[in-house]
Structure formats: structure tokens, C-alpha cells
Amino acid sequence: MEEVTNTEDGSPNADTNTEGNDEMNSANSGEHTTDNVTLLPETRIRVPKRKIIVEPVLILYACGAMAILGTISQYWYQRFAEDNHFVYNPKTGSTHCDVTNASDPDFIKQQNIQAETARWTLYYALVWTTPGFVTTMVYGAYSDRYGRKLGLLTPVISTVLGETVMFPKRTVQMSGVLKDALDTFTKDPLNKGSKWKLLNLLFVFLFFGLVAVGGLSVYGLRVLDAPLCFNASLSGIYTGVGIGLKLVASIFLLKVLQIWFSDYQMIIIAIVSDIGNALLFAFASNVYMVFGATVIGIFGGLVIPLLRSMMSKIVEPHQIGSLFAAIGCVETLCSLMGQSLFKLIYSNTIKIFAGLTFLVMAATSGIALCLIITYGIRMKLKKRQGLSSATIH
């Protein structure tokens, strides 16, 4: 029979050998015992033997998916020009670019080609983006249950298969995963009071995304029209410079700006930068103004990543997949609505004032700016109320 002695505080203490054996058994079983109460084993983070990063996969996929954006407008413009017997040389630009008389038949024909190109790019956007409403929410919700690899690999594999083979249609019970994605915004997360933050930031994302995602192709279409009349090479350079500058801002300048500014402040700077780009481009009449507008809008690409970052800090870790699924659905909606809205405006106002579409873009981004400023003011008021309550108590 083991001898048990009492310590100074009256708690039982077994002899040294027995206690050592108990500790070893507890360690081997992964559990801890305190006064006959079994505690759950500590959660240990497993460090993978190989560090695999997904950035190269995403970059390569984005390069392949976005390669068509800079050429699709030029291709359709050339095809419609041929159908209307309008001379267009992609290497030199429009032959009748110097025609500015609104009553000239060539000028009227050129405006009709622009409007027809805008309409068909709209049809293409409808077919391309509509399925994304379901897929983004399904993959995002599934990733919370089965890991992120499924959500990353499935779109890439599907893109390859979609270009080569066709499969019979199958039905999937999606109500559960769709519900998980929507619950991120319809139910208040564990962090009380965060629902309004998500909704506010989501509306900022919506209004800015209409311009950032849905308005890109209109820029490429505008530079083909008079008085700019970019050829294929110059149009490609313009698209490449615009994307390159935003990538530089996202990768390098973002790290520098984070030293002095918060995410909230950088979003304001980025939206103002994008508004300046749209305003200058609306009145651009030469190459220098076009590229100057691109330089002014260098920070515009920071808004969407920063909004994603802010929203991911609000929800719980197990809701990240559903959150990004909902954000992806909104981004698809932005692409669909933005292209529909701005191309419709462009095709109907090109004969009046071609820059009107970009003024509407600036106003839409202005709504997003007002919403994010409102978010900041409300956050400061709640912080002051919290400090006042703490002082009183």
C-alpha cells in the first residue's frame, strides 16, 4: 500500500516514484490529470516537412485566365470592322481615325462598330460570369470542411477539362454548402457586433468592384476609338503597364505603406487614386493623358486585397472559407453587373460623349469612398463609447 502524505496546504502527495510514473503515463497518453480530472490533450500545430506555397499556382492561373482580356476587344473590333467594310489595321490603328466630323459616314460607321463591340463583350461577360455565382460559394463552403486543396485544384482542373472534353450534366445537393456561405453574413459570428462591419465592408467591395472588376474591358475598348486610336501593340503596352503598376503597388508599395498607414487609411488612398484615374481618362485625348491616368491609379489595385484582409480579421477561423466564398460570389456579381452597366452606358453614349462612362465609374467609386469613411467614423464612435464605459466602471 502506498504511503500518502499531506503537504502544507493539505493536498495529498504520493511518493516520488509513483508520481513520476503517473506523469510519464499521462505524457504518453497525451492527457493531463489534475486531482483525478482528465484534461484534453493540448493542440499541437504540425509543421509540414515541405513548405509549399500557392502563390506561383495562382499567378500562373491568373496569367492564363487574364491573357484574353487585352485581346478580346481588339479581336471583336477587327471582326465587326470587316463585317461593316471598315478598314482597320491592328498594326497601325483605324485608317479613318483622323475623321472627326460627326456627319461623316466613316465616323458614323466607326461609332457603330464601337457600340456593337461593347454589346458583344457584354454577352460574353454574361455567359462567362453567371456560373460563378454557384461555384464560388460551393467551393468556399466545402473548403471549410475538407481543406483548401480542393478549392484550389478543382477550378484549375475544370478549366483544363472545359477546353478539351465535355461531361454529362450532374446534379449536386448544394443547399447545405450554400447555407454555410450565406450564414457568414446572415448570422452574427462569435465576435458580437461584427455583423454590421462585414455588411459595410461588403458594400464597399460591391461598389468598388463594379468599377475595378466590371469596368476593365471598357478602358481597352475606349483606346481603340478616336481620338486615341491605339494600335494593337500600343494597346497591349497600355494593358501591360496598367497591370504591372498595380502588381508593383500590391507587392512592394503595400509593405512600405503599412509602416505608416492602417488598412483603413490605405483603402481611402487607393479609392481616391482610382477615382483620379477615371476622371483623367474620361477627358484623355492623347497618349500622355492615358498613361498619366494609369500612373495616378497605381494604388487602385490595393482596395480589394485590403478589404479581404479586413473582413478576414473579423470572422472566426472556421468561417474563413465561407467568407471568401461569399466574397467570390460578390466579385462575380460585380463582374456581371459592372460589365453590363458600363458597356450599356458606353454603347449608348459614345456618340454623345465617350468619357461619360468613366465619370459614372468615378461616381460609383465615390460611393464606396463614402461608405468606407462612414465605417471609420462609426468605428471611432464605438471605440470612444467603450472607453467612456470603461472609465465609468
Q: Quote the distance between the C-alpha of residue 223 and its chain's center.
A: 25
Residues of the chain falling short of pLDDT 70? 1-55, 57-59, 61-74, 87-102, 122, 125-193, 388-390, 392-393
- What is the number of other CB atoms lying within 10 angstroms of the CB of residue 390? 8
SS3 state at 10: coil
pLDDT > 70: percent of the chain: 55
Res 27: pLDDT: 45
Res 232: pLDDT: 74
Rounded Cα distance, 184 and 303, in Å: 21
Res 16: pLDDT: 45
- The amino acid occupying position 8 is E
| Domain-wise residue ranges, the chain | 55-67+93-392
Res 223: pLDDT: 86
Q: What sections of the chain are H helices per DSSP?
A: 16-29, 55-66, 69-83, 105-129, 132-146, 148-162, 175-186, 195-212, 216-222, 232-248, 254-260, 263-282, 287-296, 303-312, 320-349, 356-392
Res 128: pLDDT: 65
Beta pairing partners, 33:
38
pLDDT tens digits along 357-370: 999 999 999 999 99
Res 273: pLDDT: 94
DSSP H or E run through 38: strand 37-39
The CATH code of the domain at 55-67+93-392 is 1.20.1250.20
Res 36: pLDDT: 53
Res 331: pLDDT: 81
Rounded Cα distance, 85 and 87, in Å: 6
pTM of this structure: 0.63
Q: How far apart are the first and last CA of the chain?
A: 56
Average pLDDT of the residues of the chain = 72
